[in-house]
Chains A and B, each alone.
Chain A
């Protein structure tokens, strides 16, 4: 054994890993080699030191005690808030003066100095620390959006709809996000989205996710410690203004209010600007309880050239409240059609024909396939093509297709289109099994009596002052009266037959169309109300309806080809 071989084995020798023969060779070498012997002695000396140090610490058991203290520190209320200190120093009055008054909001001082900005940072940081031990969270708020549309879709002209998130961090990650007609559940194994508008459409990701289907913005609020530090990073790196104010809340407690002005960086004339959370110029207002330092509410305002509109109001945050396990189960209707994920899009035998199309050619090919009711061909551009879509687009006539255009943050293109839809037949389900005993509209069904839209009654129809007159109407007359009220935008009259939800949604769509410069009187198709039939199978009355005229529609279809097959896929705007 030479010196190099010996030295390679010194640690092994000290640790006793060598077999007898190897050890003897080693010892024989260093008996004759002073340098290697010295090396071996140095290694055994270090080994002895390490062993001794380990023995010193053998009894150390700190985990439980440290974690107990960590939890105590996290939830210990601070005696004095940063804001109250600041106020005392700068204005000479303190917490007691502010808290003693009865007005709901007594004091709002906007601080815009660099020092105040630093304090805003501190409030956010403390807020993040206050929720450091978060095992689960429940958020409930209102968002101006469409009930079935994308989770990050916002529309300042739409009414508010409830949006809710449940998230469990420990012991394993689970979450659910829901608005009236769109829900996602991540049950720890997979992520499933159900879109409940018309025919039920499902999308399934076979894996667990921390966020999916454009819900990142809401998750950011739920992952508070992350959110607040992200907001601070953004404020710092992008130069977004950050302000701090102090208020006395309705509960008489002091609140620290941090406001951040965000900029999407998109030009004002971009098609997608202010239509999705991440594309919007906003003012975000985070309100913390100054004593517990917990975040209590978030309000988001959209900054439009025409003025500011509140689009999000998060007014309920439940920290570490047990979540009903039923929340992690998604009841799937029997008729759900599953959408294909873009990454699973098959390469067709004649894939090149589709991959080489322009966006406009793809839009034309799609509408033409719908016109011929060639659903196999239309399915190459969109998934899934469900019965409702077939009913809606079957026999469509293309009036014109415009030049495609793009948006800064969208990977596809928009193609302007004008189409004429053929007359459509559908059924209205009506019922008078209510306290007011009048026929009201329960839902919209297709010609084969399959549910298209549930009109969501949250309570019993009200007994009207002239209820008898309405109670005498036949199912057919009730539907006719409902249609008339809708076409005249007579919301009060419409409400006598329709749920609050239906009226609100119709009203919202009309308001949005008006804002977009559409002549709403032309938008509403004329209907012919047909006979009423009793369905024993469904124990309900159905009234046949038909659009009299063909309905024209002018809009932009969004298509994208960032998928492995490189084919244009319809992504929205139908």
Chain B
């Protein structure tokens, strides 16, 4: 079963909460990568990612645009990362660590805009191919099998996804700030 984000969200709301596991499976890696750039070490990233998914599940009813689940999830993750950062600073009063974490927030290629937010802005078919190819590490042939589409469709979609992703990144770079993905 390979449903859209919207369909999974609707099924979760409609008495099939176990389907949330499929959304976790779909987005655990990009979310983890997104948080890794903001939070720091592996255990903290893992904790923040879990917390983000659990909060997302508990407020699934409030999600107004189920098709924007991933962008909304990143918004939640952004808040979780901030809270975790504040809490670490507060408890440890370790300025050096704080400095390190602030520096690490931009760890994804220095000044470049965050990749995962730009991926979140892609149409779902493009996003799916990018995530499977790079975050799941599948070959294009494997992506084609997973999505039950011809190989040619995957390669064409990936080419278009690249073009669109570059546009998104360029727009964010121009804006000089990340677009608010918190409230779809």
Asked if residues B137 and A17 are in contact (CB atoms below 8 Å), the reply is no
What residue in chain A is nearest B169 (Cβ atoms)?
A46
With A53-B134, A57-B33, A70-B20: A226-B14 Cβ-Cβ less than 8 Å: yes
CA distance A67 to B25 in the complex (A): 11
Residues of A within 8 A of B57 (CB): 66, 70, 73
Interface residues of B in 135-184 (CB under 8 A from A): 135-137, 140, 155, 158-159, 162, 165-166, 169
Residues of A within 8 A of B135 (CB): 53-54, 57
B17 at the interface (CB under 8 A from A): yes
A43 at the interface (CB under 8 A from B): yes
With A132-B15, A133-B17, A225-B13: A42-B54 Cβ-Cβ less than 8 Å: no
What residue in chain A is nearest B160 (Cβ atoms)?
A11
A167 to chain B, nearest CB (A): 10
CA distance A8 to B29 in the complex (A): 29
Identify B165's interface contact among A46, A128, A226, CB under 8 A: A46
Residues of A within 8 A of B46 (CB): 60, 62, 65
**Mostly helix, strand, loop or mixed at chain B's interface?**
helix
A82 to chain B, nearest CB (A): 16
B124 at the interface (CB under 8 A from A): no
What sequence of 0s and 1s flags, for each residue 99-125 of chain A, a beta carbon within 8 Å of any chain B beta carbon? 000000000000000000000000001
Residues of B within 8 A of A229 (CB): 13, 61
B3 at the interface (CB under 8 A from A): no
Asked if residues A63 and B25 are in contact (CB atoms below 8 Å), the reply is yes
Q: With a 10 A CB-CB cut-off, give which of A59, A67, A133 has the most chain B CB atoms.
A: A67
Asked if residues B61 and A56 are in contact (CB atoms below 8 Å), the reply is no
B75 at the interface (CB under 8 A from A): no
Identify A62's interface contact among B32, B33, B137, CB under 8 A: B32
What residue in chain B is nearest A48 (Cβ atoms)?
B109
Asked if residues A70 and B54 are in contact (CB atoms below 8 Å), the reply is yes
What residue in chain A is nearest B57 (Cβ atoms)?
A70
CA distance A314 to B5 in the complex (A): 36
B8 at the interface (CB under 8 A from A): no
A224 at the interface (CB under 8 A from B): yes
B82 at the interface (CB under 8 A from A): no
Residues of A within 8 A of B32 (CB): 56-57, 60, 62
B53 at the interface (CB under 8 A from A): yes
With A51-B134, A61-B28: A169-B140 Cβ-Cβ less than 8 Å: no
With A12-B159, A49-B108: A62-B49 Cβ-Cβ less than 8 Å: yes
Residues of A within 8 A of B17 (CB): 70, 74, 132-133
A48 to chain B, nearest CB (A): 9
A50 at the interface (CB under 8 A from B): yes
Q: With a 10 A CB-CB cut-off, give which of B36, B137, B159, B165 has the most chain A CB atoms.
A: B159
What sequence of 0s and 1s flags, for each residue 84-115 of chain B, a beta carbon within 8 Å of any chain A beta carbon? 00000000000000000000000011001001
What residue in chain A is nearest B47 (Cβ atoms)?
A65
CA distance A50 to B115 in the complex (A): 8
What residue in chain A is nearest B42 (Cβ atoms)?
A59
Identify B162's interface contact among A46, A51, A128, CB under 8 A: A46
CA distance A320 to B53 in the complex (A): 25
CA distance A133 to B134 in the complex (A): 33
Residues of A within 8 A of B108 (CB): 49, 53
Asked if residues B21 and A169 are in contact (CB atoms below 8 Å), the reply is no
Asked if residues A66 and B24 are in contact (CB atoms below 8 Å), the reply is yes
Asked if residues A62 and B53 are in contact (CB atoms below 8 Å), the reply is yes
Asked if residues A54 and B21 are in contact (CB atoms below 8 Å), the reply is no
Residues of B within 8 A of A42 (CB): 166
B6 at the interface (CB under 8 A from A): no
CA distance A334 to B126 in the complex (A): 57
Asked if residues A225 and B115 are in contact (CB atoms below 8 Å), the reply is no
B158 to chain A, nearest CB (A): 6
Asked if residues B33 and A53 are in contact (CB atoms below 8 Å), the reply is yes
Asked if residues A225 and B14 are in contact (CB atoms below 8 Å), the reply is yes
Asked if residues A66 and B159 are in contact (CB atoms below 8 Å), the reply is no
Asked if residues A170 and B18 are in contact (CB atoms below 8 Å), the reply is yes
Asked if residues A60 and B18 are in contact (CB atoms below 8 Å), the reply is no
Residues of B within 8 A of A223 (CB): 14-15
B130 at the interface (CB under 8 A from A): yes
Identify B166's interface contact among A46, A53, A60, CB under 8 A: A46
Residues of A within 8 A of B68 (CB): none
Interface residues of A in 386-400 (CB under 8 A from B): none
A69 at the interface (CB under 8 A from B): yes
Interface residues of A in 1-23 (CB under 8 A from B): 8, 11-12, 15, 17
CA distance A54 to B29 in the complex (A): 7
CA distance A220 to B57 in the complex (A): 23
CA distance A17 to B12 in the complex (A): 39
| Other 16 A-B pairs with CB < 8 A, given A15-B140, A51-B134, A225-B13 | A11-B158, A49-B112, A50-B134, A56-B32, A58-B29, A58-B137, A60-B29, A61-B28, A62-B32, A63-B21, A66-B20, A66-B24, A67-B24, A70-B17, A131-B15, A132-B12
Instruction: In the A-B complex, list the 7 residue pairs whose CB atoms are closest, starting with the nearest.
Output: A60-B32, A57-B29, A50-B134, A57-B32, A57-B33, A54-B134, A11-B159
Complex A-B: 10 CB contacts under 8 Å = A11-B162, A53-B108, A57-B33, A60-B31, A60-B49, A66-B54, A66-B57, A70-B17, A170-B18, A223-B14
